[in-house]
Structure 1
């Protein structure tokens, strides 16, 4: 959709997943470290989380496709009628289609089927690559500012595709997971930025040919990068602090139990020795 809502929908999708990943992956790393302390349910819990994540992806993709196709001025599933019908809407629908495929791969990866390891990460990397590929040819022959602000979107898109592809072969790498989280948040906030610039809520259009506007948007992109990194760092710190507090209580309880057990064993041994002496 060539309006603000059309950019807010994918922006919300990437913001939601980026924020969630920036909490989920530090939690997973913490749970893995504490498995020896009794977290034997971690693999099953992780599978349930990934299953729900895949279902949400499929839902968002379905909503996106329906929104692009069946808005009042949409193509309504007509591709060609003497000429191409709303090719922009069809491109957006294709982008959502690949994210739906990524959601299906997530669900299959946690099923009992013999699915290759890393399929979920490969499917997500493919979806990001297809998004970038479509957007690269999306803004030809459009005003300079429009082209520039969309070209900046390719940085988190192709960056996310590359880092996610590496995850397919380096599963559980915490740095790659945080990079993917940061780039997803960056992509989400930048979709909103595109919507505010091209479809301003106050009705005052930006000068599409102004070099000053292009310079400001470039600087604004750098601010978005800083904000994305800050959000990930804050979430990581909060998760680390909370798990440390919870883990500390767990370790203390374990230590107290061990002390009680040791004390009980020592008392039992002492009583047995006393009984042996009396028998002699």
Structure 2
């Protein structure tokens, strides 16, 4: 009887916790317009409880109170649930494949457009810019980088990187196919590095919701390898349909993993490499 009672207590606590999470996500959407409701619960829960520990809070409800009533807490929550910040060229093998895939796809196109959807901070966008410059594609390529909220948009538009990261990332840059010095692509001020203006100006940053917004252009490349693992099954299929509707014929799609046969649009793509989530749209 005691074991049954203990299990009932645990189940009740779990149910309460799940309800608190749903109420928090609904409150964030209703109050701030940022929609995390379709995110996969296990990953989202881990991020929420990391924030609870950092703030020394006992319950999700106590976090919700602060999100709604204390300045800055909502922004902290959005940052916590967004794609974590990455370093330059942090996935060299991935970047090497990106060089090959985009190079082959964009060269025949007069004015190519690439969509970087919910990147891992400014470093992922700057990695793409450097890669395109080295492939002699950047001068005629428009890069659209989108993030889920105005707060994240403010962060990336004003971002810089510690100058030490350029040295730390040099080996990864070379492993990805880079042949120069990473520091040559940056201006340095007071120990902070920013991508050169001639490269930054080709990146258009915008607020855009993969959860609710419609297709806004036709692209020759779409890259979303960081955010997709956070999405629940229904949201993932919604986003895959969005990418299918936004990708030109023979355009390149970069995903977090290989498509399943039942995934939206799976029959319209050809796998580019022996493994991984790199595809060309063929119909």
Q: Tell me if TM exceeds 0.5.
A: no
User: Shorter-chain TM-score category?
Assistant: under 0.3
After TM superposition, the score normalised by the length of structure 2 is: 0.23
After TM superposition, the score normalised by the length of structure 1 is: 0.24
Higher percent of residues as helix = 1
